[in-house]
Chain A
Amino acid sequence: MTDQITTDPTKPSERMRAGSMTLSLGPWIVAAVLLAVLPFIFTNNSSITIMNQMWITVIFALAYNMLLGQGGMLSFGHAVYAGVGGFACMHIMNASDFFAALPLPVLPVFGGLFGMGLAMIVGSFSTRSAGTVFAMISLGVGELIAACSVIIVAFFGGEEGVSGDRTYARPFFGTEFLQQIEVYYLISAWVLIAAALMYLWSRTPVGRMANAVRDNPERAEFLGYSARWVRFYSFVASGFFAGIAGGLFAINYEILTEENLNTTSSGVILLVTFLGGVGFFFGPIIGAIAFTLLQTVLSLQTELWAFYAGTLFVATVMFFPGGLAGLMMMHVPVFKLGKARLLILPYLKTLLPALIGILGLSALVEMVFHVRHAAYGDDEMTLFWTTFNSHDILPWVVALGVTAIALGITRANAPALRDAWNEANTAGGSA
């Protein structure tokens, strides 16, 4: 094991990008098997509900990343394309004659087409430039359409939205999609198809040029490509897949409201995508899974989940702009060098106390919140399976003490981790 990195630069980086360079079927088969098996592991209804939401978010986040990660376009109003696709699907559900002749699994295609149609209209003027102007137009158009939802009642259904019944569709091989599990498999099939198509898109000429235009629009123009049209095609494709996500939302929840269009939804998808990591194709998938878990599991535990999510988001932007996927891929060279073992102990020594410290901090936050906002006379609170009086001094001392000690240990051990990291990333030496 001598200096592999500099003498043979092709290997590690090639493998690092292996997922994106070759059309290997491996990951897709694993994903398909996982999707099929998961309902047998998590059998209760609420897990299936969570997974349905997760896969829909996966499609939406991947579609969003076609813009943000691959095309360098920051949209603040992307929920609109998913929403309009979803509303269109609701109307198709309510058009009884047509819907009765349509197998339900085909419905999302219509959502996609409507999302795409809207993206074509908006993209015709918004994709002239990337950067700030694009972001502002996306925000403006997003707000406009969201505001239209209460004005154009015929399409958006006003305050109460539009609802329908998916079971009126033509039975699909005898399935009427009465049960959640049937819907689960419908969504799972779509998540595979959509993800595969989006992945393939990134390998096409226009998909490659999207990256080129993101990196350097001027150079791309001098290679014969109009940066504007490249952006336009990315935008339209992204609108299509967002529309598919919207269609699946319509099937799953059977109702769409103004909430599916507004800036909050657009912000959430930005958050999900960035959290997962915009630099890699699979980043948004991780983001969608992590965020949905955070949202559903954490919101059961604490009222403050949005506060934690916001903190996590800001911390991600500041310290890990590569997101979760970036963090994971950082370790690939270490594994290639066969030095992952070197990191285990330092990681334990640093991250374990860090975790305890963060939990301690959140305990303090929860206690402050309780003291400030709990009903008068309600001094008892339960935290980490312990019930105590939040107005006593002892819990505060304990929480503060644990947090301070844990963060202190983290701080003390951090240099060792940094050294180990450098060591593990340097080729050669005793591996």
Chain B
Amino acid sequence: MSTPALELSGLKKSFGKAEIIRGIDLSIGKSERHAVIGPNGAGKSTLFNLITARFQPTAGTVKLHGEDLIGLEPYQINRKGLSRSFQITNIFPKMTVFENVRCALLWSQGYKYSFWNLVNRSRDLTEGAEAILEQINLTERRNLPAGTLSYAEQRALEIGITIAGGADVIMLDEPTAGMSHSETDYITDLIMKVTEGKTLIMVEHDMGVVFGLADRISVLVYGEIIATGKPEEVRGDPKVQEAYLGAALEAEH
């Protein structure tokens, strides 16, 4: 097997005395769509934040295409080809939809911190941004301030920003959280479309989305992965059913 796209080993994170992530080993192959599920408070978002250097892990390593990510800043990780979205919508609300996407393209098109290029003179940028807008179905909204879009549209825009830079590993944190049924379908189709041929890691609560999208699923309970496998294997795993349903029931009461 070739180098996995993302490899976690012995990853741990404590906040004070509370150990939130208790040693995770996970390997995600290239072009795999991988979902992380688990009850509330299992540490899914923390896991995401550890991978993308929002938090520093207490122990363990994170490797992207075999390269160690620990100690890098978020922007350095992004430049290595890992891009993420956030649980709470995280866009540039005062800028137009088009500018949001264009900003996401700047680094990958090699503009860096240049002040000798004019952004609207670059056909690549404009066409690239328009292509992304087309993909996420927001062409008609292109000149509105992003903050004025509907919730589902903002989530779509965030996915657009996340994929725009051409990263080959995409991490989505609860992309359908708080959405209506039809909106969820729309976002699911969108994710399917835009992650074609890329590695996708997502945290998701909606089991319909998870089983519709994922090639493999990991179940995270109390900071540990209790099962990883194909959707049908995970679904049939009695340990998962017991722990996950048990914990889920517990969480509901």
A and B are partners in one complex rather than unrelated chains: yes
Name the segment of B31-39, B74-82, B214-222, B233-241 touching the other chain.
B74-82
Cross-chain contact B119 with A208 (CB below 8 angstroms): yes
Which DSSP category, helix, strand, loop or mixed, fits chain A's interface?
helix
| B111 touches which of A205, A212, A221 (Cβ 8 Å) | A205
Alpha-carbon separation in the docked complex, A212 to B107 (Å)? 13
B83 (CB) vs chain A CBs: closest residue: A222
**Beyond A204-B119, A211-B92, A219-B90, 9 additional pairs, beta carbon < 8 A:** A9-B141, A23-B120, A205-B113, A215-B92, A215-B95, A223-B78, A223-B83, A223-B104, A225-B106
A residues sitting closer than 8 Å to B (CB atoms) are 9-10, 13-14, 17, 21-23, 200-201, 203-209, 211-212, 215-216, 218-227, 229-230, 233, 237
> Assuming A212-B92, A219-B161, is B75 touching A237 (CB within 8 A)?
no
| B143 contact set on A, CB distance < 8 A | 9-10, 13-14, 17
| B94 touches which of A21, A215, A218, A220 (Cβ 8 Å) | A215
- B102: interface (CB < 8 Å): yes
Alpha-carbon separation in the docked complex, A17 to B120 (Å)? 14
> Assuming A223-B78, A223-B104, A226-B73, is B92 touching A205 (CB within 8 A)?
no
> Assuming A219-B91, A229-B113, A237-B115, is B75 touching A209 (CB within 8 A)?
no
Interface size on B, residues (CB 8 A): 42
A16 (CB) vs chain B CBs: closest residue: B143
A237 (CB) vs chain B CBs: closest residue: B115
14 pairs from A and B in contact (CB 8 Å cutoff) = A9-B141, A10-B143, A13-B145, A17-B96, A200-B118, A207-B115, A212-B92, A216-B92, A219-B92, A219-B161, A223-B107, A224-B165, A225-B107, A226-B75
B residues sitting closer than 8 Å to A (CB atoms) are 52, 54, 73-75, 78-79, 83-84, 86, 90-96, 99, 102-104, 106-108, 111-120, 140-145, 161, 165
Cross-chain contact A223 with B115 (CB below 8 angstroms): no
| B74 touches which of A10, A205, A206, A222 (Cβ 8 Å) | A222
| B103 touches which of A9, A208, A226 (Cβ 8 Å) | A208
A279 to chain B, nearest CB (A): 9
Cross-chain contact B115 with A212 (CB below 8 angstroms): no
Alpha-carbon separation in the docked complex, A363 to B173 (Å)? 61
Cross-chain contact B92 with A224 (CB below 8 angstroms): no
In this complex, which of A205, A216, A219 has the most chain B Cβ atoms within 10 angstroms of its Cβ? A205
| B90 contact set on A, CB distance < 8 A | 216, 218-219
In this complex, which of A14, A201, A221 has the most chain B Cβ atoms within 10 angstroms of its Cβ? A221
A7 (CB) vs chain B CBs: closest residue: B140
